[in-house]
Structure formats: C-alpha cells, structure tokens
Amino acid sequence: MGAAVRPSVRLWLASLYLFIIGTATLAYTLVELLLGLAYGSLLVTSDALHGFMDAAISYISGFGLYYASRRGRSFPWDIYRLESLMTLLSTIWVLGFYTYLLATSIKPGGRPTPLWMTLLLLAGGAMTYAMYLWESRNYRSLRIDILKADAAHAKADTALSAAAAAAVVISNAAGLAAAETAAVFAIYGYVLYEFIKLSRDAAYGILGALYKDPRLEEGIRSVLSELGKPLDVKVRRAGSFLVVYTLVAVSPDMTVGKLHASRTRAIKAISRLHPLIVHVDVKVVPHRKELRRWLRARRQ
C-alpha cells in the first residue's frame, strides 16, 4: 500500500492519525488530571502531565505533516524548522511545570492513591497500547518515520502506566507510600529522558544538521546519474523533514531545454524517494573532462 499511495496523501493520512491520537490523549489526560488533583494523587497527576506532553508533540507533528502534504513550489520549506522550535518550547514548559510540581508537592507519609485509580491508570495504558498497535500498522503501510517513532514511544508509555498501577496496589496493600514516590520519580525520569532526546532532535532540525541514510543517498545519486555525474549530495534536516542539496557535472554540449527537462525530472524523482523530503536543490556545472574535450573540438 505504501508504494501505491502518493507521498502527499501518505503525509495527509499520517497527519490525520496524529491529530486523532493527540485528541484522544488530550481528552483522557484532562480527565486524569482533574481526578489526580481532586484526590490529591501526585502519581496520577504526573501521568497526566506526561500525557499533555505526548498530546502536544502529536499535534505539532500532525500540523507539520499536514503542511508538508500541501506544499508547492513557492512554499517556504524553511518554516518546518518552526515545528522543531515549537516541540522544544512545549517540552520545556511541561518539564518546568512538572519539576515545580515535584518540588512543592512531595511530602513524606502522604495518603496513598485510592485503589480504584489503578483502573484509570490501566485504562490509560490499554489505550496507549492500542495506539501503539494502530501506529505500527499504519507505519508499515505509509512508511512515515514519525509514526514509527511515536509507536515506539507509545509502547514505552504502556509499560510506564502498568508500573504506575502496580505502585498504587503496593502502596495500598503494604502501606508503602514510597512505592508511589518511586513511580513518580520514574515517570519524571522518563519525561526527562524524552526531553533530552526531543531537545537533541529539535536542535538538529533547527540547525539543519546532516541526515545520514546511505540507501537514500545511493538512490539520489542513481537518479542524478541520468543527468550527469553527481559531485556532491547532502541531505539536511528541516524540522522533522528533509532538504536535499546536490551538485551535478553535466555535459557542456547539453542544450538548455534538455538540461531544464532533465533537471526537473530529477527533482521530481528525488522527491518521491522519501515522503519527508520537502525541498530538492539540483545545481549543475560543466563536466571538466567533457568541457576540455568540447573546447578542443570547437578549436578544430
């Protein structure tokens, strides 16, 4: 299915899936947050704050894929770096608020979370696992890397929800309030790990770091070989998306019309190699050996 669906349609479908996931996560997180605050459960509140960060990332990624699906020749592709900046700012806000909450709310000998709230945590874990299965299936058909990353994240979230529910059971059954405190710090540690990882990826997207994919570069060079001799191929990040810069040596006796047509075909072919490629720049220079041969022939 992935090869049969146009890249723009694949991006639009992936953005729709992320909007659905973000909305479902946000709705459940709001319920979880209200109940966590009402019953004074820092563990449930922590799980809700983690959900807010997940929902924000799903929305931001969804909007990025949506605009990528509608891009045209005049679209300012550099705006995709804004997606990385928004992701970075949203994670900083959640982490800052979470840190403040931990610093002001953890008290020794606090009341355990009501036992019935294990159902809330397990239901959240079940929903997250369903999202993991759904995104994994959609990734196999659409081949959008963002879905793969989000599916892996959902799988880890499922285990975290199960651990949080176990902590509530231990806290109530054995009277070990420390079990919930340990679970809270485990969630905080995972959020911190996510923050570091997202910050690194966001920095790569903002700065336009090189994207290393030997198979993609090989495919680009194969396409360019029909135009001339590829001299340089660079793939850079623009947010979660990719920008391709190439330099090709062409025969000096190639007509302007043929050069323009061949270059246009190459750009279109390269754009189809990866659904996250949003811009392709193909620059041409005369092939030195052929240029010398062409000049000798002109002198004769």
What is the per-residue pLDDT across 33-91, written as a single tens digit (0 to 9) for each? 999 989 888 889 988 988 888 898 888 888 878 877 776 555 565 666 777 777 778 78
Report how far residue 24's alpha carbon sits from residue 150's, in angstroms, rounded to the nearest whole number. 14
Q: Which helix (H) or strand (E) holds 284?
A: strand 277-286
Which residues fall within 8 angstroms of residue 226, CB to CB, at 6 or more apart? 262, 265, 266
Instruction: Tell which residue, 39, 41, 54, has the closest CA to residue 164.
Output: 41
∠57-19-91 over CA atoms, to 5°?
A: 10
Q: What is the number of other CB atoms lying within 10 angstroms of the CB of residue 261?
A: 11
* pLDDT in the model for residue 246: 93
| Burial of 50 per CB tally in 10 Å (0-12, 13-18, 19+) | buried
Residue that is written with structure tokens 């729709």 in the block? 16
pLDDT grade for 2, boundaries at 50, 70 and 90: very low
Q: Considering the chain, what is the average pLDDT of its residues?
A: 83
Q: Which of 255, 254, 249 is nearest to 288 (CA)?
A: 249
The reported pTM is 0.75
Residue type, 248: V
| Burial of residue 193, with CB atoms counted within 10 A of its CB: 0-12 exposed, 13-18 middle, 19 or more buried | exposed
Backbone φ and ψ of 17, nearest 5°: -60, -40
Q: Helix (H, G, I), strand (E, B), or coil: what is residue 251?
A: coil
Encode pLDDT of 14-29 as tens digits.
Answer: 889 999 999 999 999 9
Q: What is the CATH number of domain 214-299?
A: 3.30.70.1350
* 82: its two tokens: 């804004």
* Domain ranges for the chain: 7-207, 214-299
